[in-house]
Amino acid sequence: MSSSSDIDKKTNDYIVNVDNIDRIDLEQGSIDDVKANDFDNGSIFNEDRHRLKTSLNQRHIQMLALVSVFGTGIFLSSGGILATAGPLGTLLAYSIVALIVGLNQMAMAEVASLMPVTSATVRHLELFIDPAWAFAYGWISVWSAIMPGEISAAAVIVSYWTDINQAVWISIIIALIIACNSYDVRIYGEIEFGFALIKMTLLIGLILVSIIITSGGGPSHETIGFRYWKDPGPFKEYLTTGNLGKFAGFWKVLSGVVYSYGGVQTVPSLAAEVKNPRRTVFTACKRVFYRVSIMMILTAFCLTLIVSPNDKAIANSTGNATSSPFVVAIKNANIKILPHIINAAVLTSAFSTGNMSVIHGSRTLFALAVKGQAPKIFLKTNKRGLPWVGTIFVAIFMPLAYMNVSKNAANVFNWFQSLTSANLLVGWIFISANCIHMDWAMKAQGYSRDQLPHKFKFGIQAAWVSGIASLILLLTGGFKNFVKGKFDMASFFGSYFIIPLTIGLYTFWKFYKKTRYYRSHEVELQPLFEDIKNNPEDPPTKLKGWKLLTLLWS
């Protein structure tokens, strides 16, 4: 553990004092003149606290945490999952991935509470492991953010009502997303808060409607019960017959289920723009485990009750909203108006997740620029603390969504889905690695876990389990391509391109900057613990009267 004199020397040699930061010539100076791992609490937090504004409060972040994981995957691609894995296979897949996500958020919460910075995982890698891994994952995150899967999904949903070319709707959606992210992050927070309420209402409504339909409460008064669990059975065969085929079907859909949790990393990315970030982000991540996971599993379970895996409408997806399993089920029950309401609500979900991608990508570019791993221009913010250059950069790639305007729309959507799933898994692996390395460093330097601002009883175990599970899913996500006669280049690329890309980016930065892996005793923990003392957060306030209604997000 570094002594206070060592820290002072590093501060004098390398760190720009926050009082003088306005005098930095961003066009001439170089942020990466700060040597790797030469940190004090100023160098870690200065850029975030000086340039970004804490415009978001607990209400925004807690609600974002509740619904950010409910992307369009559960509404659109879940039909294909059910058709491939069967009812029990689908329920198991959603349950297992929910457990992985919940454990991973435990790991994220501990590290983010100690070091609440923008684009948390990237900056944590920079401090706890190796700047080269931070560079690699940072640019992978940007790449993931510019994949316009949710914009494509939104256009797919709109096609339910009109035959107008999807390019028109893609253009409108792009314009709206840019407008939401062009002025103040608080505007984004308020819009997302509204969308979150719609999404939660939709999920609760779908669960209730599913119970009514399966109990015979629909217009046809036909009781379904567990009919589809008996015929065609709890599992469906995939690639081969027998138990091996059933297991293959279950394993095949796991990567598709990962896509349903696409927004889970948005909240930590906003840590520097939140009031009382240590407590707020920790609580938000904690809520993912027991609130969001339960909602996702319940929704998946209800889906298995109301739609047959053999229904041609979901088995032969056409890439449009008519293949949404909930729409199919409600149509089969002869309920006329609900499909329109559901698709309208799902449209807001797609728009919301597209919004989150812009937030995640622009903040990641800011984090990379802080350490000279991206051009310094990405540090520019407007007077309200919005990193507008990063926002424009992400927006430039939104027209990739026009790839969805073709007869192969379903293939394009599936391709975006595979790429996103692989990127998410890499992120979860790095989140776990950060938590594990932080724990190793604390032990080596004599810090107790009780000194963390917030912690879980089994935080380290959660990091190990989620990290190993994510690695297994990443390596086996495209197993179909290794079966004789089943190789598909698009599928293989979507499943595995992320691996050589990550290694390539890591190797490039490793040799270019000659970075090194930090040993446990070299990790600079002292500035982080000093910052906890120097910047105490406001104590939580007790809720009374009508404010008790805010328990949903507080």
**Confidence (pLDDT) at 413:** 65
Instruction: Specify the amino acid at residue 27.
Output: E
Identify the residue whose tokens are 């999904």: 153
Find out whether 65 and 285 touch, Cβ atoms under 8 Å. Answer: yes
Question: Residue 322 and residue 132: Cα distance in Å, rounded?
Answer: 45
Helices 338-370 and 325-332 sit at what angle, rounded to 10 degrees? 170
Q: Are 423 and 143 in contact (CB under 8 A)?
A: yes
List, in sequence order, every residue forming a beta bridge with 56; answer none if it has no partner. 274
pLDDT of 546 reads 59
Query: Which candidate, 102, 43, 203, 83, places its Cα nearest to that of 431?
Result: 102
Residue with tokens 């059910």: 82
Kindly give the confidence (pLDDT) of every residue in the chain, 554 residues in length, as a single tens digit, with 9 standing for 90 and above: 444 444 444 444 433 343 333 333 333 333 333 334 545 545 677 666 667 777 777 777 777 777 666 767 777 778 889 999 999 999 999 999 999 998 998 999 899 999 988 888 999 999 999 999 999 999 999 988 887 767 777 776 776 666 677 778 788 888 888 888 888 888 888 888 888 888 888 888 888 989 999 998 878 788 888 999 998 999 999 999 999 999 999 999 998 899 888 777 777 777 777 888 888 888 888 877 777 778 888 989 999 999 999 988 886 554 555 667 888 888 888 887 777 777 777 777 777 878 888 888 888 998 899 888 999 999 888 888 888 999 999 989 888 877 766 656 556 667 777 888 899 999 999 999 999 999 999 999 999 999 999 888 888 999 999 999 999 999 999 999 999 888 988 889 889 999 999 999 999 999 999 998 999 999 999 989 988 888 887 777 766 665 555 555 55
Helix residue spans in 307-408 (DSSP H): 312-315, 325-332, 338-370, 388-396
Whether the Cβ atoms of residue 105 and residue 285 lie closer than 8 Å to each other: yes
pLDDT at 20: 39
Cβ-based neighbours of 24, under 8 Å, separated by 6 or more: 16
Q: Alpha-carbon distance 459 to 520, whole Å?
A: 18
Domain edges within the chain: 11-18+25-536
What is the CATH T-level fold of the domain 11-18+25-536, as seen in this structure?
Answer: Amino acid/polyamine transporter I (1.20.1740)
Q: How many CB atoms lie within 10 A of CB 485?
A: 5
Give residue 1's pLDDT. 45
- Could you give the C-alpha distances from 71 to 188, 321, 344, 426, 554, in angstroms and in order? 17, 15, 14, 19, 22
